[in-house]
């Protein structure tokens, strides 16, 4: 009989104190997401576990009430009771009603051919203790990027079931081959019901990780991670049908990126810029669940003033190798907050950058900035390192490390 445990809800632990969730037990972590409440509370979640991207992975949510100077770990933990079922690819999103959505994917093993996006909603994200709704399965597949609210008020959710040539062949088959695309789910009733609306077929896509943007003319622009960079497709009917996929003019090293329209009307993209390597499908298929990537360096914030045609304004955030998977939020205080990971297996760092739109337009930080990072030693002591970083030519790093865990 087929195991259906991935179709059952996971356990939600608020202010978790269990030893297995603490810093010294987590040997792998990455793929973060970020949100900021109107009151300024910062939320960051990511997934982790004792090994790699395998059954037993958990989702961690950290919270900061002092603008990112310190973070409270284990504010919420999601864990499935079946040790073969993993929790992964989480995302955070404030909907237009002010509710905080915490979404994540469940699957048996690395890729069970079905996966499933689950959502919990917090009505009051600034409360002393977070209260989450019962986990609800909203879609087949995986969603690691924020939904889009269109000018018509519809909510579009970018979910995908990986195709067999994405970089991982599924271990199971569930009759969902007709959904192995970059899919779009939609809600017209503020999330009460969410249904599959359409899909795009992008050649050479790798784990999809697609994002949606509404162009100024009302068309939808889908951008998808591919082995050759970033692919694209367009829809003029609200996401029901999509143009044949093709390579876009935007490059990338086969990694997650971020794109969103800012309040100014400009488009913000966080992507790798001036990288010098790229991996191909054969390289990926010959590796295990923990993969060695290429070209994940020079993570950069970019602005477009012509609806994504050109990206003339750039701000280097982190030039090191193995920085990846950005997510961002434009907060009400005027700052842009970006989270990303670095060295998921060795350093295991989840990082945050904070800057303004003007910083990107200038290409550098105008004033002195403070960088605060903290690490957790095996015996549990936290050491704060405060650095005064001054403008040097066109780049300066500004980041906070949420959780850096010891080497084993």
What is the secondary structure of 317-334 as a DSSP string? EE-STTEEEEEEEE-TTS
Residue 297, SS3 per DSSP: coil
8 Å CB contact between 162 and 207? yes
Q: Where are the domains of the chain?
A: 1-143
> Cβ-count burial of 1 within 10 angstroms (0-12 exposed, 13-18 middle, 19+ buried)?
exposed
Is the CA virtual torsion 328, 330, 336, 337 positive or negative?
negative
CATH 2.120.10.10, domain 1-143, yes or no: yes
| pLDDT in the model for residue 288 | 60
Q: In what order do the strands lie in the sheet with 313-318?
A: 258-261, 267-272, 299-304, 313-318
Q: How far apart are CA 89 and CA 160, in angstroms?
A: 12
Q: In what order do the strands lie in the sheet with 136-139?
A: 85-94, 100-108, 117-122, 136-139
Residue 282, SS3 per DSSP: helix
pLDDT in single tens digits along all 408 residues of the chain: 567 889 999 999 999 999 999 888 888 899 999 999 999 999 999 999 877 888 999 999 999 999 988 899 899 999 999 999 999 999 999 999 999 999 999 999 888 999 999 999 999 999 999 999 999 999 999 999 999 999 999 999 999 999 888 777 888 889 899 999 999 999 999 999 999 999 999 999 989 999 999 999 999 999 999 999 999 999 999 999 999 999 999 999 989 999 999 999 999 999 999 887 777 667 766 656 566 677 899 999 999 999 999 999 999 999 999 999 999 999 999 999 999 999 888 888 899 999 999 999 999 765 433 333 333 323 222 222 333 333 322 333 344 555 444 332
Q: Which of 339, 397, 366, 390 lies closest to 30 in space, CA to CA?
A: 339
Element (H, E) at 87: strand 85-94
Q: DSSP character for 10?
A: P
Residue 20, SS3 per DSSP: helix
Measured from the Cβ of residue 243, the count of other Cβ atoms closer than 10 Å reads: 14
Q: Residue 250 corresponds to which tokens in the numbers above?
A: 């935007």
| pLDDT in the model for residue 277 | 75
Contacts for 12 with CB less than 8 Å, ≥ 6 apart: 76, 77, 78, 120, 132, 135
> Cβ-count burial of 219 within 10 angstroms (0-12 exposed, 13-18 middle, 19+ buried)?
middle
Q: How far apart are CA 92 and CA 83, in angstroms?
A: 24
Contacts for 258 with CB less than 8 Å, ≥ 6 apart: 145, 211, 268, 269, 270, 271, 326, 327, 328, 338
For residue 212, the Cα-to-chain-centroid distance in whole angstroms is 14
Q: Which of 57, 5, 7 lies closest to 27 in space, CA to CA?
A: 57
Q: Which of 78, 101, 105, 86 lies closest to 21 in space, CA to CA?
A: 78
Q: DSSP character for 362?
A: H
| pLDDT in the model for residue 375 | 31
Q: What is the largest CA-CA distance in the chain?
A: 63
Residue 41, SS3 per DSSP: coil
| pLDDT in the model for residue 27 | 85
| pLDDT in the model for residue 287 | 59
Q: Residue 388 corresponds to which tokens in the numbers above?
A: 């005064």
For residue 387, the Cα-to-chain-centroid distance in whole angstroms is 27
> Cβ-count burial of 160 within 10 angstroms (0-12 exposed, 13-18 middle, 19+ buried)?
buried
Backbone dihedral angles phi then psi of residue 233, each to the nearest 5 degrees: -155, 160
| pLDDT in the model for residue 373 | 34
Backbone dihedral angles phi then psi of residue 39, each to the nearest 5 degrees: -85, -5
For residue 369, the Cα-to-chain-centroid distance in whole angstroms is 26
8 Å CB contact between 341 and 293? no
């Amino acid at each position: 009989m087929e195991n259906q445990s991935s179709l059952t809800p996971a356990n939600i632990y608020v202010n978790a104190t269990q030893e297995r969730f603490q810093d010294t037990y987590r040997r792998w972590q990455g793929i973060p997401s970020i949100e900021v409440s109107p009151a300024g509370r910062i939320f960051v979640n990511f997934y982790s576990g004792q090994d790699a991207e395998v059954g037993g992975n958990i989702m961690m949510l950290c919270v900061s009430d002092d603008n990112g100077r310190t973070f409270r770990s284990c504010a919420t933990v999601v864990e499935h009771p079946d040790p073969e079922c993993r929790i992964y690819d989480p995302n955070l999103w404030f909907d237009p009603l002010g509710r905080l959505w915490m979404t994540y994917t469940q699957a048996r093993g690395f890729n069970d051919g079905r996966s499933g996006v689950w959502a919990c909603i917090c009505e009051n994200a600034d409360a002393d203790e977070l209260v989450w709704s019962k986990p609800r399965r909203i879609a087949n597949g995986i969603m690691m990027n924020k939904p889009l609210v269109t000018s018509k008020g519809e909510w579009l959710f970018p979910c995908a079931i990986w195709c067999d040539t994405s970089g991982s062949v599924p271990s199971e088959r569930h009759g969902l081959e007709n959904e192995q695309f970059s899919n779009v789910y939609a809600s017209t009733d503020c999330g009460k019901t969410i249904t599959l609306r359409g899909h795009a077929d992008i050649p050479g896509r790798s784990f999809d990780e697609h994002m949606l943007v509404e162009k100024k003319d009302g068309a939808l622009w889908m951008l998808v991670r591919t082995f050759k960079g970033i692919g694209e497709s367009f829809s003029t009917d609200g996401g029901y049908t999509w143009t044949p996929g093709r390579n876009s003019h935007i490059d990338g090293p086969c990694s997650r990126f971020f794109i969103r329209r800012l309040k100014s009307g400009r488009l913000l993209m966080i992507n790798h810029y001036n990288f010098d390597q790229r991996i191909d499908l054969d390289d990926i298929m010959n590796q295990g669940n923990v993969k060695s990537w290429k070209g994940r360096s020079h993570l950069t914030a970019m602005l477009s003033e012509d609806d994504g045609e050109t990206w003339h304004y750039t701000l280097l955030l982190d030039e090191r190798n193995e920085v990846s998977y950005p997510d961002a939020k434009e907060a009400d205080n005027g700052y842009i907050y970006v989270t990303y990971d670095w060295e998921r297996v060795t350093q295991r760092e989840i990082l945050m950058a904070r800057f303004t739109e003007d910083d990107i337009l200038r290409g550098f930080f105008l004033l002195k900035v403070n960088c605060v990072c903290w690490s957790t030693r095996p015996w549990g002591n936290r050491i704060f390192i405060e650095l005064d970083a001054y403008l040097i030519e066109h780049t300066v790093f500004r980041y906070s490390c949420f959780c850096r865990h010891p080497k084993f």
